[in-house]
Structure 1
Amino acid sequence: MRELFPLTVSLITPLLDGVARKIRARIQDRIGPPVLQTWYDLLSLLEMESIRPVESATFRIAPYLAFGSALTMLFLIPWGEETPLRTPANVIAFLYFFTLFSASVVMGGLSVRSSYTASGASREISLSMVFKPAFAVVIAVLALKTGSLDIASIARSVDFSPSVVGAYILLIYLTYVEAGFIPYDIAEAETEILGGVLSEYSGRALAVFLWAFQVKRFAMLWLLSAMLVLPFASGIGALILQSLAVLTIFVLMVVYESMNARYRVDQALRKGAKALAAGSILLVLAFAGW
């Protein structure tokens, strides 16, 4: 039964993207596309044959590796009382697939001789060099303070010391970044580099890649909701509150996204460096017992 949650949600993520498009349109005083438009786009692409600009196995498997990584992330997160793939150290597995997703994006971009995909891959690497270590440090703070490497146990055992409170604040920020909201959607940047790493993909492969990004975004939001809800709730109530928390956080982030312009790479890197420095300070505080 618990395995059905991630599989069902993966089918809902395009609908959430449609909601986001509608919210952005309203804020910008436009009618916008229908809520189901993202599903229409994906289904249309899935019916098309993928055009391969290069005979590369890496180019072919990158979208499916990214989708598999994003889906596995969903299986490693608590859904109320249940974790579909619960292991003694599932937070390590989550970080692995979290990183593998970006690696898949980079591999897909670098497998084609294109200035656009190369630029997108380069941006993804640059951002990953600062934001992913920052995210790992935040998780390390929470794991250190709770003495556990299980996501559900970490969420239920936090003591809200100064380092933990700081880690939660940083986690909210890094979730926004890793969910790919503007101004941090730099690796795709349609208006600048024509989709970046995705610019040479088409048909079914493009649909899988786009869907993978949506599933990964939801996984990051669901992880944040678990960390916010599970310290205070259990049972079916926790699952309901997680769902409400995700919807609330998602809407707030979309609204914030709608009021921002995309950062330059150097701007994003500076903010990432500050986040990493802040996370390192929090880790020192956690070691000191604060």
Structure 2
Amino acid sequence: MNVHDAAPIIVPLLVPFLDGVARKVRAVIQKRVGPSIAQSWYDLLSFLRVECNSPVDSLAFRLAPYIAFASAIGMLLFLPFGEKAPLGFKGDIIAFIYVFTMFSAAVVMGALSVPSSYTSAGASREVTISIVFKPLFAVVIGIFAIKTGALTIEGMASALKPSISVLGAYLLLVYLTYVEAGFVPYDIAEAETELLGGPLAEYSGRLFAIMLWAFQIKRFAMIWLLASMLVLPFVGGITALLFQCAAFALIFLGMVVYEAMNARYRIDHAVRNGAIALTLGVFILVIAWTGW
């Protein structure tokens, strides 16, 4: 089995360790001992062994974690590991946007199926963030598509050439990746200290573990997409995978460090920043359309 075909199997097993690394780095920065790197895996395994104590008899509540998990795995299938994606095809960027959006829809669906003020507030925040940042992602992808003439992620990444609009799109993609990866100050929907986990507040046991695992996979997918866009224009072959891993590690650690030094935004602050970024993105899209 090739590396790119095995990636959707390897990555879900790897991401809890990455979450453990993030927890350890935050602890060091905040002058705490922190948990072991394997603690996130221990937590997942503990939850997976326990049945969910469902607060409602709702099919939507029970299905939402599985849909979110499937969406996160779907995101992995369209990402290039090296130069090739496990399930790459012409137009796969459209499929990526679809499963990317479906992830948030599943989270909101599960949260709204429970009569809880915490989950309702979390769902409301998730919808608000999505309304601002999902269009921004489409705009960034549109810029890359205009500049490369490709509708595949690997095709876009390998054909990108430096220009004013491409540089602007890269900066927006860095910002968007940070937001969609759920780092502080943009973890507004979960907001554990305010909303007890927001959309996840009523989940427990196995369903909570699956939802938590899905969030970790989605975070990996967004950062890997950014790393691929940065590496593949310059490096090909098996070397590309090594550089993708190195770029991912640097981006991931940089974002974790930045997160540890920030406090959570209010929702209006996040919306204002997102609206500014979206306006800038549309302006850059026009520049890309004119050939710059």
Q: TM-score range by the shorter chain?
A: over 0.9
Q: 1: distance between equivalents of 2:177 and 2:92?
A: 18
1:24 lines up with 2:22 in the alignment: no
Q: Which runs of 4+ in 1 moved over 4 A?
A: none
Match of 1:103 among 92, 102, 105: 105
Distance in 1 (CA, whole Å) between partners of 2:83 and 2:289 is 29
* Aligned position for 1:88: 90
In structure 1, C-alpha distance between the alignment counterparts of 2:83 and 2:24, rounded to whole Å: 33
The unaligned stretches of length 5 or more in structure 1 are: none
2:179 is the alignment partner of 1:203: no
Partner of residue 113, structure 1: 115
Counterpart contact for 2:8–2:77, Cα < 8 Å: yes
Selected match of 1:157 from 156, 159, 181: 159
Gaps of 5+ in 2: none
Give the % identical residues: 61
Cα offsets for 1:188-214 (capped at 9, x unmatched): 000001100000000000000000000
Match of 1:39 among 38, 41, 47: 41
> Once the two structures are superposed, what CA deviation does each residue of 1:217-241 show, in whole Å capped at 9, x if it has no partner?
0000100010000001011100000
Q: How far apart, CA to CA, are the structure 2 residues paired with 1:173 and 1:262? A: 16
Contact 2:161 2:233 in 1 (8 A): no
Paired with 1:216 and 1:36, the residues of 2 have a C-alpha distance of: 19
One-letter amino acid of the structure 2 residue matched with residue 247 of structure 1: A
CA distance in 2, matches of 1:7, 1:74: 10
Q: In the alignment, which residue of structure 1 is the partner of 2:257?
A: 255
Equivalences for residues 125-274 of structure 1 within 5 A? 125-274=127-276
Distance 1:60 1:237 in 2: 42
SS of the aligned residue for 2:110 comes to: helix
Shift of residue 6, structure 1, vs aligned partner: 1.8
1:105 deviates by: 0.5
SS of 2:36 mapped into structure 1: coil
Q: 1:220-276 CA deviation, whole Å, 9 max, x = no partner?
A: 010001000000101110000001111111000000000000000000000000110
Question: What is the letter of the counterpart of residue 266 of structure 1?
Answer: D
2:70 to 42, 52, 68: 68
- 1:5 match: 7
CA distance in 2, matches of 1:267, 1:194: 21
Count of residue pairs brought into register by the alignment: 290
| TM-score between both structures, scaled by the size of structure 1 | 0.99
2:82 touches 2:236 (CA, 8 Å); kept in 1? yes
Paired letter, 2:104: S
The one-letter amino acid of 1:48's match is: V
Deviation at 1:3, TM superposition (A): 2.1
- For residues 289 and 209 of structure 1, the distance between their equivalents in structure 2, rounded to whole angstroms, comes to 43
Partner Cα separation in structure 2 for residue 243 and residue 10 of structure 1: 15
Question: 2 CA distance for matches of 1:181 and 1:40?
Answer: 22
Q: Which amino acid aligns with 1:40?
A: Y
- Among 50, 53, 68, which residue is 1:51 paired with? 53
Coordinate RMSD, CA, aligned: 0.6
Superimposed CA distance per residue, residues 133-167 of structure 1 (whole angstroms, 9 cap, x where no aligned partner): 01110010001111110111101111211111100
2:80 alignment counterpart: 78
Amino acid across the alignment from 1:224: L
Given that 2:143 and 2:288 are in contact with CA atoms closer than 8 Å, whether structure 1 keeps it comes out as yes
Distance in 1, matches of 2:36 and 2:114, equals: 34
C-alpha distance in 2, partners of 1:243/1:50?
Answer: 36
Distance 1:153 1:108 in 2: 35
